[in-house]
Amino acid sequence: MAPQPFLESQSSNQTQLMPPNATSCENAQEAWSLLHRVLPTYIIAVCFLGLLGNLFVLSVLLLPRRRLSVAEIYLANLAASDLVFVLGLPFWAENIRNQFHWPFGALLCRVVNGIIKANLFTSILLVVAISRDRYRVLTDPMASRRRRRRRWAWATCALTWAVGGLLSTPTFLLRGIRAVPELNVSACVLLIPHQGWQWARLLELNVLGFLLPLAAILFFNYHILASLRGRAEVRGSRHGGPKDGKTTALILTLVAAFLLCWAPYHVFAFLDFLFQVRAVQGCFWEDLIDLGLQFANFFAFINSCLNPVIYVFVGRLFRAKVWELYTQCAPGSLGAMSSARRRKILQLIWRN
């Protein structure tokens, strides 16, 4: 099987897994040739858009001299995670263009993969934290106002980054350069110490890195939607308000986009585990899993540049903050605008 890019599957150490006389499947050479030509260009485009978009989001949230709300703290950390994520994409674009020959040395093999793998876990844990925050706001508004503290949000984000780093430790320790005679390359792969590692990787990547967070995300967002339906039926309720509703719509869209982008990768990673333990075998499965993982990785990449677009088109309050920052940066023209005029424009932004 082909070495997998930085979102590594369990099969990365293929030189230990293939029997000495094994022959590679040659049924998908045209598909691989197309992938080597086309996918690097798309990855670079995603990197460029993700870099600009997430820097823009962080600028809007952090440049104004004011305290961030609890929701903004989580969103700023998610943008930072996406930013770190996309910084590693040029390395893997070049890796795929070289047909999985890693030209950057063993140190960068470990560092680039370790940092990006840490952000894989950090991102989904931040989505869990964001969903939990909205759940508390909508289901128990009075309690959330008493107990929600910015310090607690910052502590939660710090813990999330720490857990992401801890779960990526095997990648930092076990990634290395290994010659792959079947492909005539020196690939950056996960050097699996023994076959029992396959089960550990399944637990880490699919269970801790997706299924358990997915269960929490679905639980919180189910109750969020139930709460919104209940409030729609009781129009006179004082709980929440337009601001809560707009923030909730933004977060629900972010969660949906995250799951749609990441679910294919985890499906193919699980199929890859089944292939390694020989639950499924044959060239059909090998080609399907290898090619599927490459394209599933690309869909995962898209999420990092999709979030800023969601902020602009769904986040009405975010658009108001963009306008606020713009007026501060252009005092000669818009800064002299009357407060009544600015207020009217902001109201139009919030309504659209």
Q: What is the pLDDT of residues 190-244, one digit of tens each?
A: 887 777 777 777 788 888 888 898 899 889 888 888 877 776 666 554 444 555 5
Same domain, 214 and 232: yes
Residue 323's contacts (CB-CB under 8 Å, 6 or more residues apart) are: 345, 346, 349
List the single range of 88-92, 134-138, 171-175, 216-220 with lowest mean pLDDT: 134-138
Where do we find the tokens 């607690």?
152
Q: For the chain, how long is the longest CA-to-CA vector?
A: 79
Residue 8 lies in a domain: no
Share of the chain above pLDDT 90, in %: 12
Same domain, 329 and 246: no
Q: What's the structural domain count of the chain?
A: 2
Same domain, 322 and 301: no
Same domain, 213 and 126: yes
Same domain, 168 and 227: yes
Same domain, 320 and 310: no
Pair 168, 118: CB distance under 8 Å: yes
Same domain, 288 and 336: no
Residue 3 has what DSSP assignment?
A: P
Type and span of the H or E element at 186: strand 185-190
Residue 2 lies in a domain: no
Same domain, 265 and 346: no
**Amino acid in the structure at residue 141:** P
CATH number of the domain residue 262 falls in: 1.20.1070.10
Residue 4 lies in a domain: no
Task: Show the domain range for 348.
Answer: 316-352
As a whole number, the mean pLDDT across the chain is: 77
Whole-prediction pTM: 0.78
Same domain, 232 and 332: no
Same domain, 194 and 326: no
Pair 308, 54: CB distance under 8 Å: yes
Same domain, 247 and 335: no
Residue 231 lies in a domain: yes
Residue 1 lies in a domain: no
| pLDDT number for residue 278 | 81
Residue 7 lies in a domain: no
Same domain, 218 and 342: no
Type and span of the H or E element at 176: strand 175-180
